[in-house]
Chains A and B, each alone.
Chain A
Amino acid sequence: MLNTWLGYWAPLNKIFIVWNQFNSMQYVKVAAIVLILSFNSFTSLAFEGIGPTLIASMSVSQVQALSPAEVILNLLLLEAFGKIGFLTGTQVEAVIGSLSSNGLSQLEGEQLAYNNNINQVDDWTQLDQDELNDAVKRITGRNINMRGVTSGKFIGSELVNVKYADSFSVDNTATEKASDSQFESRSPAAQGADVFRVSNAEKVTYGCVTFLNVQNVDFEASPHGVKVVPQSRAPLKIIDCVNRQVEFVAEEGGYLSIIGDDYTVVKGTLTCTDGVKVDTLQAEESTEIHVGPSCFECMGIVPVGTYSYHEPVIERDFTVRIPKEGKVYRLCLRKFRVQSFIGYDGLADFVDKRMDFRGIMQYKRHLLRGGKATDILMETAYEGKADVRADITLFPEFIFVDTVALAGINASEAPASARTVPSNVYELTEEIIKGQHKRVLAVGYRLLPESLAQSLPSRYDSDGGLPWLNITSNVIMQDNGRHRVTILEPGNKKIDGIVG
């Protein structure tokens, strides 16, 4: 009977098709409904009361009893009478591509989730946002909240591609104004972490950590931390939980992992800015960094890795590089008097103005002329080449070095144990030559006087059994109390007195 009278409504199919072509023209539709209802009154008389009135009064079970063909034939009326939400997932699957915005807005989460019906919706803005979120929750089984999503696509139950979302959040991770992003729930490839692949986002947050201007970055978020995997060398700005300004640049295959105040940098460069002072860690392999109130505190640098300190007075800048011959190096930075560290390999003590380096590492500084840096590049000032210790005491201005004191030279059996470069004129090495411990000096005797840099240290000492060296204005003097060895720099005025 129902099929019979519905058959009289067949001509309306054509109207319905045209109808959907105007699905964005709400006023036109309302006018059409009025017309249809008027027509309904007329046909009801002609066809014994069968028509839109019946659809309008249909219950959920009646609607769900409709065959696919009936649903299609009466889709317009179902939409008009707000019956789309009564349809089963299967029914929706058959007609979802033909739904108008009115019909789409009536879809419920369960209908959208059924067999990933949502994938057939090109414009997610037409969907009810709560129902959309409900659908996503049903599909993924996760408490995902999205707002302002333009469109997307699910692949299975774990992966959703989002064309654009004003916001997208899962647990404590969220993206804002993200386009072309992908969410993979509990990815096996990421050890069960949620993976966000963001092509472009104004902001991504993980708990209290904010990532700004995100471009082509994958985030692997788990309850205990987040792994950030940039797919390009574009700098990623980060504001951490205590408002530290951090920036990460990854090399190929590089990433950054953040667990509380512990950062792990793999093949990349992490920069932390505290006022005018900047800590930078460049990891060719990996480095674990514990950050404190004033950026970096202690680092475990896997060779090759470089820590750099920068400030506006660049003459104070320095770097500590762990070369490939080195072992994992624990470098700590003492920035407050109350801080004390144990078990470190290297300590840069900003409070007491000294550097304490053990083992294989390189300490680099700017060459100085007239107290000013001669170049933006830094040169090695000291290099530990074996298990020796360098105690480098700086003057209070934190530029020039009072003393370089080396310990462990005599005990070292390495062919070369330490290299100290007071300026670009000299290079002092402690090494074993033909079985004998030697202090050896290389002199840049071809340098022009005008190209000389100032000597950084005033005193050099080692426990190799030799007297300490006095270094004054690039004149080195080794005095054992009986005899002296004096080395003059190129252009020293005393040279004219000797050669006439």
Chain B
Amino acid sequence: MGLSAKKRNAQLTLMMLVGIILALVFFLFYLLATSLATSITLPFDRNAIQEYVNNCFKQTAEESTTLLGKQGGRIRLQQAYIAAKGFGISYALKQDAPRIPSIREMEEDLSWHIDVHINDCLKDLKDFKSQGWKVDAGTFSSAASINRNDVDFRATFPFTVTAKEGSLTFRDFTIMLPVRLEYLHTAMGDVTQFSLEQGRRVDLTYLNGQDFNTTIFPYQNALVYQFIDEASAMRNQPYEFMFAIE
């Protein structure tokens, strides 16, 4: 009887200990997760601050470039397009009229989109302010430059960060995305011209010679071309460039 009571007490103590340990572990996880989500500890360092802004710049540029590719070289869809989920596929050819955006238009769309959406990432530099730093920022203004094998993005974003250690001033930011937009744009132009001249037919010889995968499919009374460029990979994803031929 006495032995049995002792055993039961020992088991109870063990279970309580396990429970307390588990509660502690969960509490520590909660603290860690909360602190990570709400604040970033940044060193008051030029490179770190530059890197932070560049990362935002790059992230936004990637999003812009991704959208531009999915929408056939346009971000601002002013003319008719094929509605897809979360984007619209613009026509490169509709009613015998080529509608291919120029490189300059693509660059302008990219810049516009980045300028509009950069603050989705920068969040008025809240992360800097949360460090107790004083931030004095101007306007973010970017310019994209589409090359054959990549896209250069330059931004002017004057701001000063002041902390007890001193002040740091920033202005110019540059990033590059390895997206062969000019190459893909040229391919779109070639495909469109062939389609126009050859009754919307597909030039398999031309596509065989291109350095990307192509998927072609009928959709909403148009023929949609999807170029999938492994060499233009962003975030480990191949770059996707789509346009429609009607």
What's the nearest-Cβ distance from chain A to residue B180, in Å? Answer: 13
Chain B residues whose CB sits within 8 angstroms of the CB of A445 once the complex forms? 200, 218-219, 221-223
Kindly state the interface size class of chain A when it binds its partner. Answer: 35 or more
Chain A residues whose CB sits within 8 angstroms of the CB of B85 once the complex forms? 499-500
| Chain A proximity mask over B213-225: 1 for CB below 8 Å, otherwise 0 | 1111111011110
- B86 nearest CB neighbor, chain A only: A500
A498 touching B215, Cβ below 8 Å? yes
- Asked if B55 is at the interface of the complex by the 8 Å CB criterion, the answer is no
- In the complex, A459→B33 CA distance in Å? 56
A403-434 contacts to B, CB under 8 A, are 428-429, 433
- Asked if A447 is at the interface of the complex by the 8 Å CB criterion, the answer is yes
- Asked if A58 is at the interface of the complex by the 8 Å CB criterion, the answer is no
Chain B residues whose CB sits within 8 angstroms of the CB of A436 once the complex forms? 205
Partner of A499, one of B89, B199, B211, B212: B89
Chain B residues whose CB sits within 8 angstroms of the CB of A440 once the complex forms? 198, 201-205
- Asked if B13 is at the interface of the complex by the 8 Å CB criterion, the answer is no
- Asked if B65 is at the interface of the complex by the 8 Å CB criterion, the answer is no
- Asked if A326 is at the interface of the complex by the 8 Å CB criterion, the answer is no
- In the complex, A494→B217 CA distance in Å? 9
Partner of B202, one of A433, A442, A482, A500: A442
- B197 nearest CB neighbor, chain A only: A433
- A477 nearest CB neighbor, chain B only: B215
What's the nearest-Cβ distance from chain B to residue A465, in Å? Answer: 8
- A447 nearest CB neighbor, chain B only: B218
A492 touching B217, Cβ below 8 Å? yes
Assuming A483-B212, A485-B213, A500-B84, is B204 touching A478 (CB within 8 A)?
A: yes
Chain A residues whose CB sits within 8 angstroms of the CB of B95 once the complex forms? none
What's the nearest-Cβ distance from chain B to residue A421, in Å? Answer: 13
- Asked if B139 is at the interface of the complex by the 8 Å CB criterion, the answer is no
What's the nearest-Cβ distance from chain A to residue B29, in Å? Answer: 35
B84 touching A499, Cβ below 8 Å? yes
B202 touching A487, Cβ below 8 Å? yes
Partner of B219, one of A438, A480, A499: A499
A486 touching B201, Cβ below 8 Å? no
Chain B residues whose CB sits within 8 angstroms of the CB of A466 once the complex forms? 204-205, 208
A439 touching B205, Cβ below 8 Å? yes
- In the complex, A485→B219 CA distance in Å? 17
- In the complex, A500→B87 CA distance in Å? 9
Partner of B208, one of A429, A446, A478, A500: A478
Chain B residues whose CB sits within 8 angstroms of the CB of A437 once the complex forms? 205
Residue of B87, B210, B211, B214 with highest tally of chain A CB at under 10 A: B214
Q: A487-B217, A488-B217, A495-B219 are in contact. List 20 more A-B contacts (CB 8 A).
A: A429-B201, A433-B198, A438-B203, A440-B204, A440-B205, A441-B204, A443-B200, A443-B216, A445-B219, A445-B222, A480-B208, A483-B211, A486-B214, A486-B216, A490-B217, A490-B218, A494-B215, A494-B217, A495-B217, A500-B84
Can you list 20 A-B contacts (CB < 8 A)? Answer: A438-B203, A439-B203, A440-B204, A442-B200, A442-B202, A445-B218, A445-B223, A446-B221, A466-B208, A480-B208, A483-B214, A484-B213, A485-B213, A485-B214, A488-B216, A494-B217, A495-B218, A498-B215, A498-B217, A498-B224
Residue numbers of A with Cβ under 8 A of B are: 428-429, 433, 436-447, 464, 466-467, 469, 478, 480, 482-490, 492, 494-495, 498-500
